[in-house]
Structure 1
Amino acid sequence: MEVQFDAYPADIVGLDVVVTSVASDAHTWNLVYLQLLLEELGHRVTNLGACVPDQLMVDECRARRPDLIVISTVNGHGFVDGKRVVRLLRRCPELHTTPLVIGGKLGIAGGEPGSVSVELLEAGVDAVFEGNSAIVGFRDFVQSLPSGVRQ
């Protein structure tokens, strides 16, 4: 007799979320934290892990067609790597309108939080989360999205 385990019961009406990091970032604690937070809010999470090559991220998101893509970075290169991969994601017709956010330590210059936000927004992210209030803003953003609605 084969026993199947479904981590996400059919009656959960949350979002399908992809959590990932950029190709240069080997940190994982931030990804696990975000996964647990999102699951606590009732969402289904696919965590692609750390050091995700750009094309792998694009391919996985195209295949999964998530309701939300979350890019988290801690190494300080999120601005450069994030801007590049966001442009690739936005070139895909099936991901063009998918909510896409980025957060964490986005630069190494020590600038004020928000100093790179404009360029990331222009590249195609819907929201940028950094600084002391990042997690509160992220939670509010996620809770503002319509749950269970597929694009």
Structure 2
Amino acid sequence: MRPAGETGAAPTPARRDRTVVISSVASDAHTWNLVFLQLLIEELGYTVVNLGPCVPDDVLIDACRTIAPDLVVISSVNGHGWQDGLRLIKAFRAQESLADTPVVIGGKLGTTGLESAARTAELAEAGFDAVFRDGAQEVESFRDFAAALAVRAAT
């Protein structure tokens, strides 16, 4: 969703049969971020399965084993994205059937609001394909990531 009056080429839409699973980290009860992400990702042409807030790691992993999504998006608003994200991605990557599934995390990743580059790098090193901090510029970076993923899959 681009702000009114913004110009620029829209990303190439994905095929409708490509699926993205979105969820919060297990400790996060916020929902507005998930609704926003669902609308944004659907705008890019993906089918979205929104698992909602407070999804336990094992429930997310079981859902992804069943759905076999093209991308998993984890969102955090409560500030525990770094801590919960590390635990989640380790369990996720331990699943052979999910080892190559692209997984990203974004939002408020720490309780101070001043997440360090080291913590962001730690999430990437643990297995996230991309890490997006809180903010409008990061939303555009995520949009570009998702659009590029669709283009790679189409070729």
Tell me which interval the TM-score lies in, with the shorter structure as reference length.
0.7 to 0.9
Distance in structure 2 (CA, Å) of the matches to 1:74 and 1:115: 20
Identity of aligned residues (%): 53
- For these two proteins, the number of residue pairs brought into alignment is 139
Q: Which runs of 5+ in 2 are unaligned?
A: 1-13
2:142 paired residue among 135, 138, 142:
138
Moved over 6 A (4+): none
SS where residue 125 of structure 1 aligns?
A: coil
Distance in structure 2 (CA, Å) of the matches to 1:28 and 1:147: 29
2:39 paired residue among 22, 25, 36:
36
Aligned partners of 1:13 and 1:148 also within 8 Å: no
Letter paired with 1:84: R
Distance in structure 2 (CA, Å) of the matches to 1:127 and 1:69: 11
Q: Which runs of 5+ in 1 are unaligned?
A: 1-11
Letter paired with 1:64: I
Distance in structure 2 (CA, Å) of the matches to 1:105 and 1:141: 19
Distance in structure 2 (CA, Å) of the matches to 1:38 and 1:110: 25
Query: Which position in structure 2 is the counterpart of 1:65?
Result: 68
More helix by share: 2
- Superposed CA RMSD in Å reads 1.8
Letter paired with 2:150: P
Q: TM-score, normalised by structure 1?
A: 0.86
